[in-house]
Structure 1
Amino acid sequence: MTTLLSHALSLSAVSSVSSSGIRRTSTSHQLYEQLRERIIALELPPALQLSRNELAEAYGVSQTPVRDALQMLEKEGLVIVYPQSRTEVTRIDLRHARETQFLRMSLELEVVRALTVEERHPAVDQVVRLVQLQDTALNVDEDLERFALLDRQFHRLMFEAAGVPDLWALIQSRSGHIDRLRKLNLMDPGKAATILTAHREIVGHLKARDLSSAHEAVRRHLSGTLAKVEEIQRAHPEFF
């Protein structure tokens, strides 16, 4: 079985990621967020064993926040804890991914509706700027990590502009499986460019207050990854 120490991200690498340590306020939640981000980024792949001792040493904390963080990850379905045995990163759960996608699609369509009501919603200019930054990240800097971060910010900003930021937080709280699937899909040549084009289309329709076209663009954009799930599975069977 793969272990944390035998994985390419060795204990020393883990330490370098968090060399500044974790702030003592809400330690458990901060550790949960850091581990969750690394699982979603595929740095911690399915079947990888996570040792409480190693994590506590790497992050400079006691085993109590490690235990609590792993319990939070287990609640989200990103790890499975075997009592008195081991903790493993789970494989991607496609049923869970589809349910989260259904939730997000339903909410984001309503967000777009809210943003087309005003003559010129002030957030539209901010969304335009994010698309420009994505263009730079992809076509100038060739930085896919930053591109992906801006992707999340693009959608989060729309929820915030519509006055429902807690709904974006709700989606994110259960998006671990679909986000890993998107990460695998982002590796495919041309996928990032497709995302950028979709964002430009959505922004254009928002500026024109064309709700029907905006809805169609959102549906097409958010459905792209699940439409290719069989292809992704064939290319990366170890994640399923």
Structure 2
Amino acid sequence: MYDHYHPYRFAKIAMSICERITGIENDAATASADFDGSRDAAFAQVYREMLTPENLEMSTEELVGRLQFQGRLDALRANWLSDGMDILDISDAIPRVFDGGPIERVRTDGSCYIHFGRHPALELESEPDIWIDGLYIGSVQSEGTSSRMSFAFVCNDDASVAPRKAKAGSLFRSQTRAALGEKASLVRFGRSGKSLYGDPQVIRDRAMMRAAYLADAITGLSPSIELPKPH
């Protein structure tokens, strides 16, 4: 029901990866057990043990990197779960924003997930079947007179939409395809590019710049501006 939202899809992809590797399908109840925050520690351990270069058909170097991305996404998602599972779905407003329409500001008190949905301006120019689907904002951490927040721009793709047709490695790339970072709360997302880490395909794509400008506009970090459009 909520699979189009990344926090729910993230857990379901993990179940699909296990199905690919073991050849055993999990029932719907098992697959949804993680959605309310009651993560099964035993499953988490088994899942991580399955994530090997052989099972995923990827290099050790890539796997190590993606495990780091996954760990950070896990932490942001856990933060989101503990702070009330707030989802701000602005997908209906995105077309108007990119067409120069009014920008509706959203409040981001505490952790939240902002859902963009699919829009041509957020599709990767290097691979249009992948698009930047939303943004996690972590809880603000105070540091003296300043404050910092962690965040992650996350993607969706055709493999995630139809997970039963994808291989384990493709699903793991889908689950960990993100641009992550940390910034001072009042610094624009658009100015945090040099500090981003994560999937290099996402970070280097011009769609990432558009997503950052979008995030600045909807969170009130920048005035109403004309967002850069795809070429």
TM category (shorter chain) comes to under 0.3
Which of 1 and 2 has greater Rg? 1
Q: TM-score if structure 2 supplies the norm length?
A: 0.28
Greater strand content? 2
